[in-house]
């Protein structure tokens, strides 16, 4: 099947009446996603792209049976809307916006984990299941159905890897953006576990970047639990030490978080470390992936 | 945003953390005057936003006027790790019995603030973390629960701190955590936190890095973020709303994501040398890419430009219009290669082609970089891969 999204996923779009929210609702619907409603407080009763807009998440859930939500809410309002969404019973949340204060992310993460909610982001392109649907902003043209899972810290690099695989006739089971912030709502190992347990995924690609310790920690999980082949690429080899490359997640602090450190940890866990994105095509061929 | 030491020390002082007497100066003459008021010996500390300042020669001691003149002269004429020294903090030199370490940061993996303390403070703290981990203790704070003083007392007991010092030290931990919360700090650090010969504690250094995403809601006065960026091109990047990092090569880069930008740098670096890193984030418009072109073209001797963008959240066809408008208005002669995929890609390719941009329609960045390399060659500086790690 796929991970996170399936045939019964019914999506609401929060912030649907905004410029980005409405444009992305169009693309999600066009890709076949079951978008059942939208939420913007005060704009209830409107329609966007033929989808009904509600004033609250609870109302949207009651009226549409929604069980998943994707956020295009301005950063300052995300914490509030996130807590509302969890309290309304939604179990899968994708936080696309960037520049959300870390203090808010810490609270969001803590509440989501407490309530058993699977949340991705912030600063994530979301989830895409080729041929089935997507929650977020991934551009559909680059993806093909298949059996390789992708997890990426960077949005645009997830498109790059999917695009290279698709051109080599290797499809994807699910593509997941975990978010590019220094603190994200779910760690890499949690998503790897979903792919390990997914019958329709044969192998997984990790697209990481310099900074943080997600890849190092995931290496421990891989050596203990993963039976499927895993490949990894880490961006940022020539990023000057200590210089900030856009996301705070990419700051090099001390020895943890360097490209070399991540390569070593992943290699020790049996992961195929890719020097360059294009090498993913060779790796897929060698492992006879489709 | 990382604050200067003098700014952070002021904030620490306002929040009842003991700090040394000090004054900020920008000339040798003022340094002399301030040192006279504070009384010798004094310490001169270059106010530059780099780590490892002490080991790089940015901190000097002066026992008397002659030594001060010499040290201040040298500091004002020097660079510390490439940063010019414009301001120097003149501090009283306190009598130190022992140096400790205290810091708070965010543990990204556990998603919690973490307080770290050590009985071995000073410039070699990172070395201590590797060689003597038992001298370092850390506690995580539950975001939904918050900080309570018993946690600090427990932390200090883990380090084997004698009971008579625990109260004073845990008070400072509480104050530092309070500052970190109020200023939404990603890092708040005192290194070293010193035990004076009279038994008191004092913060003789201060680090405070404020979460950029929270700047608009912090209710306390903070310096302007753009002003403190030393590099004029990086400052311009901040002004137009993109992340620009100045590098030493001759290939300009525009990318629509940090990960893609870093990967592009890695790939360019195999055969050529990037002149910059530039990441637009999710806000591409025709005007923004026009300004991005203007910004990367400010580097003299640029030999080629690589544009690597995806149309997910970004309207790349709009971006393409901005690029070619700049090229036409400024008669750009150097090769421009663009790889642009995603929503409205065909339209984007047409716009780029109409302006003379070399368009690559395959997904792999390597292919596009190859096209650029065939047009411009390795250049005099040679590939970045040779000189960087």
Instruction: Choose the mutation target among A78, A214, A221, A238 for the interface with B, i.e. most B CBs under 10 Å.
Output: A238
Task: Say whether pLDDT at A99 is over 90.
Answer: yes
Chain A 172-211, residues with CB within 8 Å of chain B CB atoms: 180, 182-184, 187, 207, 209-210
Task: Give A96's pLDDT tier (boundaries 50, 70, 90).
Answer: very high
pLDDT given at position B83: 83
Please judge whether B363 and A111 are an interchain contact, meaning their C-beta atoms are less than 8 angstroms apart: no
State residue B94's pLDDT score.
96
Its domain, for residue B292, covers 232-387
Number of domains in chain B: 3
Q: In CATH, what number does A11-120 get? A: 3.40.50.720
Q: Are B327 and B293 in contact (CB under 8 A)?
A: yes
Q: What is the pLDDT of residues A213-257, one digit of tens each?
A: 899 999 999 999 999 999 999 998 877 654 443 333 333 344 467
Confirm or reject contact between A21 and chain B (CB < 8 A): no
The reply to whether B7 falls in a domain is no
Please indicate, yes or no, whether residues B113 and B213 belong to a single structural domain of this protein.
yes
CA-nearest of A237, A258, A242, A246 to B82 is: A242
**Strands B79-80, B336-342: parallel, antiparallel or unpaired by DSSP?**
unpaired
Q: Indicate whether B12 belongs to any domain.
A: no
Count of pairs with CB atoms under 8 A, one residue in A, one in B: 200
User: Can you give the residue ranges of every domain in chain A?
Assistant: 11-120, 139-286
Q: How far is A195 from chain B (nearest CA, A)?
A: 20
Establish whether A263 is a catalytic residue: no
Q: What is the pLDDT along chain B (389 residues), one digit of tens a residue?
A: 889 999 999 999 999 999 999 999 999 999 999 999 999 999 999 998 877 788 888 999 999 999 999 999 999 998 888 888 999 999 999 999 999 999 998 988 999 999 989 988 777 777 777 777 788 888 999 998 999 999 999 999 999 888 988 999 999 999 999 999 999 999 999 989 999 999 899 999 999 999 999 999 998 888 877 677 888 999 999 999 999 999 999 999 999 999 999 999 999 999 999 999 999 988 899 999 999 999 999 999 999 999 999 999 999 999 999 999 999 999 999 999 999 999 999 999 999 999 999 999 999 999 999 999 999 999 888 787 765 44
This model of the complex carries an ipTM of 0.91
Taking the Cβ of residue B333 and every Cβ of chain A, the question of whether any pair is shorter than 8 Å is answered with no
- CB-CB under 8 Å, B281 with A240: no
Note whether B256 and B242 are within 8 A (CB).
no
* Contact state of B259 with A238 under an 8 Å Cβ cutoff: no
The more confident residue out of B132 and A140 is A140
- Nearest residue of chain B to residue A165 (CA atoms): B363
Residue B247 shares a structural domain with residue B382? yes
Residues of B in contact with A96 (CB under 8 A): 313
Looking at the structure, tell me whether residues B278 and B237 fall in a common domain: yes
Dihedral sign of CA atoms B339, B341, B343, B348 in order: positive
Question: Domain holding B259: CATH number?
Answer: 3.40.50.261
Q: Is the pLDDT of residue A132 over 60?
A: yes
Residue B4 lies in a domain: no
What is the reported pLDDT for A252?
35
Inspect the interface and report whether the beta carbons of B108 and A240 lie closer than 8 Å: no
Q: φ, ψ for residue B164 (rounded to 5)?
A: -65, -20
pLDDT of residue A251: 32
Answer whether residue B15 is part of any domain. Answer: no
Q: Which CATH class is domain A139-286?
A: alpha beta
**Do the first three CATH levels of A11-120 and A139-286 match, i.e. the same topology?**
yes
A263 close to B (CB below 8 A): no
Q: How far is A240 from chain B (nearest CA, A)?
A: 9
Of B40, B68, B92, the residue that ends a domain is B92
Instruction: Judge if B247 and B361 occupy the same domain.
Output: yes
pTM as predicted: 0.93
> Is residue B2 in a domain?
no
Q: What angle do CA A287, A267, A168 make, to 5 degrees?
A: 30
Tokens of A209: 């970047």
The pLDDT, as a whole number, for residue A248 is 30
Q: Which whole number is the average pLDDT over A37-51? A: 97
Domain-embedded: residue B63: yes
Q: Which residues in chain B have their CB less than 8 angstroms from residue A74's CB?
A: none
In this complex, is the C-beta atom of A237 within 8 Å of any C-beta atom belonging to chain B?
Answer: yes
Nearest residue in B to A214, CA atom: B109
């Amino acid at each position: 099947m796929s991970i996170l999204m399936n045939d019964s996923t019914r999506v609401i779009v929060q912030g649907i009446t905004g410029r980005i929210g409405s444009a992305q609702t169009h693309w999600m619907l066009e890709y076949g996603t079951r978008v059942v409603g939208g939420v913007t407080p005060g704009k209830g009763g409107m329609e966007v792209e033929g989808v009904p807009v509600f004033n609250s998440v609870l109302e949207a859930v009651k009226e549409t049976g929604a069980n998943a939500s994707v956020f295009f809410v301005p950063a300052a309002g995300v914490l509030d809307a996130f807590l509302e969404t969890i309290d309304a019973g939604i179990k899968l949340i994708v936080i696309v916006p960037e520049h959300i204060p870390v203090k808010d992310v810490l609270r969001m993460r803590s509440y989501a984990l407490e309530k058993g909610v699977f949340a991705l982001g912030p600063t994530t392109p979301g989830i895409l299941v080729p041929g089935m649907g997507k929650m977020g902003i991934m551009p559909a043209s680059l993806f093909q159905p298949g059996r390789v899972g992708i997890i990426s810290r960077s949005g645009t690099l997830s498109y790059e890897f999917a695009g290279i695989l698709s051109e080599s006739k290797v499809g994807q089971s699910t593509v997941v953006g975990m978010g590019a912030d220094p603190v994200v709502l779910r760690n890499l190992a949690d998503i790897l576990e979903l792919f390990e347990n997914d019958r329709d995924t044969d192998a997984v690609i990790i697209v990481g970047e310099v900074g943080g310790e997600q890849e190092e920690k995931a290496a421990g999980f891989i050596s203990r639990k993963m039976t499927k082949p895993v490949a990894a690429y880490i961006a940022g080899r020539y990023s000057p030490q200590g210089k900030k490359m856009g996301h705070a997640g990419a700051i090099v602090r001390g020895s943890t978080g360097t490209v070399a450190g991540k390569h070593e940890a992943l290699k020790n866990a049996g992961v195929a470390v890719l020097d360059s994105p294009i090498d993913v095509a060779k790796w897929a061929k060698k492992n006879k992936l489709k | 945003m990382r604050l200067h030491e003098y700014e952070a020390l002021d904030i620490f002082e306002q929040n009842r953390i003991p700090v040394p007497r000090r004054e900020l100066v920008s000339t040798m003459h003022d340094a002399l005057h301030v040192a006279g008021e504070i009384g010798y010996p004094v310490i001169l500390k270059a106010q530059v936003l780099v780590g490892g300042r002490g080991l790089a020669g940015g901190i000097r001691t002066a026992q008397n006027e002659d030594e001060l003149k010499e040290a201040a002269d040298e500091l004002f004429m020097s660079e510390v790790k490439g940063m010019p020294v414009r301001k120097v903090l003149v501090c009283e030199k306190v009598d130190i019995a022992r140096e400790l370490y205290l810091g708070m940061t965010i543990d990204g993996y556990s998603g919690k603030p973490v307080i770290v303390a050590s009985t071995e403070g000073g410039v070699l703290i990172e070395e201590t973390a590797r060689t003597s981990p038992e001298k370092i203790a850390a506690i995580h704070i539950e975001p939904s629960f918050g900080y309570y003083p018993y946690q600090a007392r427990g932390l200090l007991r883990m380090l084997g701190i004698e009971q008579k010092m625990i109260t004073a030290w845990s008070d400072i931990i509480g104050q530092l955590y309070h500052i970190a919360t109020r200023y939404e700090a990603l890092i708040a650090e005192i290194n070293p936190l010193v035990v004076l010969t009279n038994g008191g504690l004092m913060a003789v250094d201060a680090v405070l890095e404020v979460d950029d995403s929270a700047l608009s809601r912090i209710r306390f006065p903070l310096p302007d973020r753009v002003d403190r960026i030393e590099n004029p091109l990086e400052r311009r990047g901040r002004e137009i709303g993109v992340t620009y990092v100045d590098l030493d090569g001759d290939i300009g880069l525009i990318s629509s994501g940090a990960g893609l930008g870093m990967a592009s740098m890695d790939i360019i670096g195999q055969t050529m040398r990037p002149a910059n890193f530039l990441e637009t984030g999710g806000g591409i418009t025709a005007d923004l890419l026009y300004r991005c072109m203007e910004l990367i073209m400010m580097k003299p001797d640029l030999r080629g430009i690589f544009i690597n963008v995806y149309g997910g959240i970004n309207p790349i066809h709009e971006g393409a219009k901005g690029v070619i408008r700049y090229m036409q208005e400024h008669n750009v002669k150097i090769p421009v290669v663009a790889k642009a995929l995603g929503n409205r890609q065909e339209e984007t390719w047409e716009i780029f082609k109409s302006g003379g941009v070399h368009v690559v329609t395959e997904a792999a960045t390597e292919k596009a970089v190859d096209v650029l390399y065939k047009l411009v060659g390795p250049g005099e500086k040679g590939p970045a891969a040779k000189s960087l790690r």
